[in-house]
Amino acid sequence: MSAAEIERLETISLQYARGDLMDDYLIDREVELIRQSCRSFDNAIEVGCGNGYSTQNFRPLFRHYEVLEGSAKNIGLMQARVAVDFPYHNALLEDFKSERKYDNVLFMNVLEHVDDPIGCLKILETLLRDEGLLFISAPNCMSLNRRAGYRMGLLKSYDTLAPKDHALGHRRLYTVDMMREHCEMAGLKVIAMKGVYLKPLSETQMIALGLDAVKAFYSLGEDVPEYCANLFAVATRAHY
């Protein structure tokens, strides 16, 4: 393992330990999108478990489940939240070795964190069965709220990282085209692209509307991913 990368992950884990209601809503919506998209619910591996809220909600979808997580602290957060009746691996994706192929690989809210996104996608491509699906999500730099922020002069560019991005260790934001391009360069084919959370205002302003309104906006905008806060992609091996 890269000692520097592990140290970075352990530092970021402090943010996950605090939890974030808006991130939980994001995961709730991702659960529904994965449920709608899966071809098989036999097995899955989740790459990156954060504080375990995603594991808690993705795990019931599949008969056989595994977790791969580079941060030992995040593994501890997951164990405190979930009855761990499945294999888990404390390793970076770059160091993970497996002879097993998976029907479903969940790479949710991780691609923006990694040092080499295309290299990581290439590794994930090797973990898929021919008919398997790779689920990816990442923040969208062209979201409606970021477009507004740029027009208002609050952002120097659409892809400017916000304070929350820095706190969570984000290295980049995505666009629809960038997501497709990175997948194609890794030998993958995007078969579906959706948006999550049509966010017209800042997070503080959205919360002021009330949680019912916020939940409604998480389910809006699926067919216009270019304007949503997060992108949700479903990919397969390109040759399949």
Report all structural domains of the chain as residue ranges with CATH numbers, in order of start. Answer: 3-237 (3.40.50.150)
Number of residues in the chain: 240
pLDDT for position 240 = 66
- Report residue 158 as tokens: 């659409």
| pLDDT, mean of residues 51-74 | 97
What pTM does this model have?
0.95
What are the distances in angstroms from CA 148 to CA 55, 79, 153, 170, 220?
Answer: 33, 40, 9, 21, 18
pLDDT for position 46 = 98
| pLDDT, mean of residues 45-56 | 97
| pLDDT, mean of residues 137-147 | 96
Please tell me the least confidently modeled range out of 19-23, 57-61, 157-161: 19-23
**One-letter amino acid identity for 227?**
Y
| pLDDT, mean of residues 196-224 | 91
| pLDDT, mean of residues 122-142 | 97
pLDDT for position 17 = 85
pLDDT for position 2 = 82
DSSP per residue, 151-220: HTTS-SSTTPPPHHHHHTT----B-HHHHHHHHHHTTEEEEEEEEE----S-HHHHHHT-HHHHHHHHHT
Give the residue, 141 or 7, on which the prediction is more confident.
Answer: 141
Residue 1 has pLDDT above 60, yes or no: no
Mean pLDDT of the chain: 94
| pLDDT, mean of residues 187-191 | 98
58 Cβ contact list (under 8 Å, min separation 6): 31, 34, 44, 46, 65, 106, 108
Residue 69 — very low, low, confident or very high, per pLDDT cuts 50/70/90?
Answer: very high
Residue 18 — very low, low, confident or very high, per pLDDT cuts 50/70/90?
Answer: confident
Residue 10 has pLDDT above 90, yes or no: no
Residue 148 has pLDDT above 90, yes or no: yes
**What percent of the chain shows pLDDT beyond 90?**
81
